[in-house]
Amino acid sequence: MAGVWVFKDGVTSLVQNPLAESQDASNHRVSGSLRRKVLVYVATDETITCYNDLEEKLLELGWKPYRGGAGLDAGGQQLPRQYHKSSSTLDLISLPHDFANFKTMHMYDIVVKNRNAFEVRDA
């Protein structure tokens, strides 16, 4: 099952191809223009544009870099950037090594784990 989970009006739904289509108010599918999404830090209304900015905010919220997620794997591929909360063994944020590969699904993962601190908005 591929797609993006979308949270709207308190309801979660899976959108199979969120960039190709959207739904209007009457629940009809409408072809739309490609909208770029951005991650926004709510406290300062700052758009996150690089990992340095994101890491600064995550550290303020109690997240710590996971040391096991740095460097290269056995095949020479970059391992993802990972952050965890020391108070919980279940919370883990895993991000692509390169910010150019930072996608909407990663943004929503951060939002879900930091509900009052971040938002995903249309650019």
Q: Give the pLDDT confidence of 97-113 residue by residue, as tens digits.
A: 999 999 999 999 999 99
Residue 67 is predicted with a pLDDT of: 72
User: How much is the pLDDT for 19?
Assistant: 55
Distance CA(83)–CA(43), nearest Å, equals 20
The confidence score (pLDDT) of residue 25 equals 47
> CA 115, 120, 123 angle in degrees (round to 5)?
160
Q: Which of 18, 23, 4, 1 is nearest to 111 (CA)?
A: 4
- Rounded distance between C-alpha atoms, residue 50 and residue 71, angstroms: 19
Residue 63: what are its φ and ψ, rounded to 5°? -85, 145
